[in-house]
Amino acid sequence: MEDTSNSNKRKGDGEQLQGRTSGCKRQNVSTVMEIFDCTVCSKPLRPPIFQCSKGNSICGDCQERLPLLEGIGVQRSYIMERVVDNIFVSCKHGCSTTIAYYQKEKHERQCPCGPCLCPVSGCGFVASTTVLLDHLATVHTLPTTPMELFQPFQVPVQPGSRVLKTKYNRLFLLKMEALESYGHGVSLVCVQPETPGGNVRITVGFSCAPGHNQESKWEMGPDGVPTECLCIVPRKETDIVATITIEREDYDED
């Protein structure tokens, strides 16, 4: 726990907290974290926080019900809000993000370093994206292509699979399969933790002849469905290059 006299600005749930005042007095202490939980629902307290006439700290959701149910008067507890705003914990998955105590559970459910299922059909291997990347390279012998979110990148249309990786280890599995008499099927699987944090939008474009341009778009919701997107690139004698753009609503680091 950090004892800080000034509240820090939060960019959003699960985002790294920065800009702490260097001149603040700090001391490492040990405490039972449950004292910072709501006395009614036992969930971590988050602003707005209230205090009942008995001195108990209550979250905003519970305070809306208590006066009606029990006739207990409540008032805003600004001092407790300052306290919980300055309790920071580390992510159990080992990412570099520092989070407020009351954001810990949500962040760890959505953390890109959390356990992810191997996207190769029938594998079943589960690990963090860092370990999973090594697994895909060594066990499945898949090449890795660096890419940036929101930035179009090009790949040749030919049979095979490859891992697309952002600089913060967000992973995607790109597969191209030869389809008899049709051409090539292009599919993309988003590697996400158990509880994905936002929508993923994918655009695939290609040109088969001068003056011809075709583009397909899909969107994966926070529940990860659909997890695989597909388009068909017609078979041609000349080489065809696909231009792919991947966007995420929860973009904050890349």
Average pLDDT over residues 9-33: 50
> 165-201, pLDDT tens digit by residue?
988 778 889 988 887 777 788 888 888 766 555 677 8
Strand, coil or helix: 197: coil
Cβ within 8 Å of residue 155, ≥6 positions away: 145, 162, 174, 241, 242, 244
- Comparing C-alpha atoms, which of 163, 177, 167, 147 is closest to residue 244? 147
* CB crowding 40-63: b at 16 or more within 10 Å, else e: beeebbbbebbbbeeebbbbeebb
| pLDDT score, position 247 | 83
Strand, coil or helix: 104: helix
| pLDDT score, position 101 | 84
- Whether the full predicted model's pTM is greater than 0.75, yes or no, is no
| pLDDT score, position 180 | 73
In angstroms, the CA 81 to CA 102 distance is 11
Q: Grade residue 138 by pLDDT with cuts at 50, 70 and 90.
A: very high
- DSSP result, 53-82: TTS-EEEHHHHHHHHHHH---EEE-HHHHH
- Nearest 5°: phi and psi at 79? -65, -40
Q: Which domains does the chain have, with CATH numbers?
A: 33-109 (3.30.40.10), 116-248 (2.60.210)
